[in-house]
């Protein structure tokens, strides 16, 4: 019978690696540092993972499982502006949990073909969900836009959501991991994405957007 590695140690390696990648950036973390922080030998670490890319890919699999649940939007009712805002808030909190993927995105994709392919699929799924949210608002009479405008809007929403944390990091790199900065980055990110829909919102939806925006920007 094939011997299975101890699950607890493997999970601890993944949890610690995620924290190190988030805190210091993926390029600044190697397997030697991970094994030292784990207080295990490099050989023990390589028993569980072939290399750093293997660790990164396993962390991404965790991220995929969590975000797939979020992106599986129920189709049994139309979303409103408040639903869209809540969806974005949860999305940004999840992105923050795995923020090194977004902060070091270009470097990671350039050096990891597996991650490149999977992230492209994830972006395509995000655009599909964003399009569905916009079409739902349109069908409910809350958003006035042509199909071409909706397609452009959905793409722009995903672009801003994908690169917002990179922008936030550049603006304040030394305080990027501080709790108050975290909260501000998540809230501002939600606002920036939803603000893209503002010119297309009508009636009560526009009023609700302005109310939610005021709450987010003054918290």
CATH number at residue 22: 1.10.10.60
- Can you name the residues that pair with 26 across neighbouring β-strands? none
Rounded-to-integer distance, Cα 66 and Cα 60, Å: 10
Per the domain annotation, does 54 fall within a domain? no
Q: Are residues 37 and 76 in the same domain?
A: no
Q: Are residues 36 and 82 in the same domain?
A: no
Number of domains the chain contains: 2
Rounded-to-integer distance, Cα 165 and Cα 22, Å: 12
Residue 2, phi then psi, degrees to nearest 5: -70, 135
Q: Are residues 124 and 166 in the same domain?
A: yes
Q: Are residues 72 and 167 in the same domain?
A: yes
pLDDT of residue 1: 45
What is the rounded average pLDDT of the residues 16-26?
94
Q: Are residues 203 and 149 in the same domain?
A: yes
Per the domain annotation, does 24 fall within a domain? yes
Q: Quick one: DSSP state of residue 5? A: P
Residue 142, phi then psi, degrees to nearest 5: -105, -5
pLDDT at 32 over 50: yes
Q: What is the pTM assigned to this prediction?
A: 0.86
Per the domain annotation, does 126 fall within a domain? yes
Per the domain annotation, does 60 fall within a domain? no
Contact 40, 120 (CB under 8 A): no
Question: What percent helix, strand, coil does the chain show, rounded to 5?
Answer: 80, 0, 20
Q: Are residues 163 and 195 in the same domain?
A: yes
Q: Output the six-digit token pair for 181.
A: 């900065």
Domain residue limits at 101: 65-218
Residue 196 confidence class, pLDDT cut points 50, 70, 90 = very high
Per the domain annotation, does 57 fall within a domain? no
Among 102, 104, 216, smallest CA distance to 164 is for 102
Q: Are residues 128 and 212 in the same domain?
A: yes
CATH number of the domain within which 122 lies: 1.10.357.10
Per the domain annotation, does 104 fall within a domain? yes
- Can you name the residues that pair with 201 across neighbouring β-strands? 143
Residue 73, phi then psi, degrees to nearest 5: -70, 130
Q: Are residues 69 and 149 in the same domain?
A: yes
Per the domain annotation, does 7 fall within a domain? yes
pLDDT of residue 11: 93
Residue 78 confidence class, pLDDT cut points 50, 70, 90 = low
CA distance readout (Å), 170 to 103, 121, 134, 139: 9, 26, 30, 39
Rounded-to-integer distance, Cα 149 and Cα 141, Å: 15
Which stretch of 6-15, 73-82, 94-103 has the lowest confidence by average pLDDT?
73-82
Per the domain annotation, does 132 fall within a domain? yes
Q: Are residues 43 and 81 in the same domain?
A: no
Greatest C-alpha distance within the chain: 66
Q: Are residues 164 and 92 in the same domain?
A: yes
């Amino acid at each position: 019978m094939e011997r299975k590695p101890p699950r607890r140690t493997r999970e601890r390696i993944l949890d610690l690696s995620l924290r190190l990648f988030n805190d210091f950036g993926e390029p600044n973390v190697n397997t030697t540092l991970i094994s030292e922080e784990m207080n295990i030998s490099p050989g023990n670490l390589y028993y569980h993972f072939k290399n750093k890319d293997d660790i990164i890919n396993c962390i991404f699999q965790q991220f995929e499982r969590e975000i797939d649940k979020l992106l599986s939007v129920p189709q049994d009712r139309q979303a409103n502006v408040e639903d869209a805002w809540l969806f974005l808030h949860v999305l940004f909190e999840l992105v923050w949990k795995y923020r090194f993927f977004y902060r070091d995105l270009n470097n990671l994709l350039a050096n990891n073909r597996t991650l490149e392919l999977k992230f492209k699929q994830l972006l395509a799924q995000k655009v599909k969900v964003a399009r569905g949210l916009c079409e739902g608002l349109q069908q409910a009479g809350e958003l006035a836009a042509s199909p071409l405008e909706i397609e452009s809007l959905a793409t722009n929403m995903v672009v801003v959501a994908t690169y917002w944390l990179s922008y936030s990091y550049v603006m304040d790199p030394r305080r990027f991991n501080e709790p108050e900065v975290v909260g501000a980055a998540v809230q501002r990110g939600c606002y920036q994405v939803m603000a893209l829909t503002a010119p297309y919102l009508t009636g009560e939806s526009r009023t609700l957007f302005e109310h939610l925006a005021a709450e987010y920007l003054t918290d």
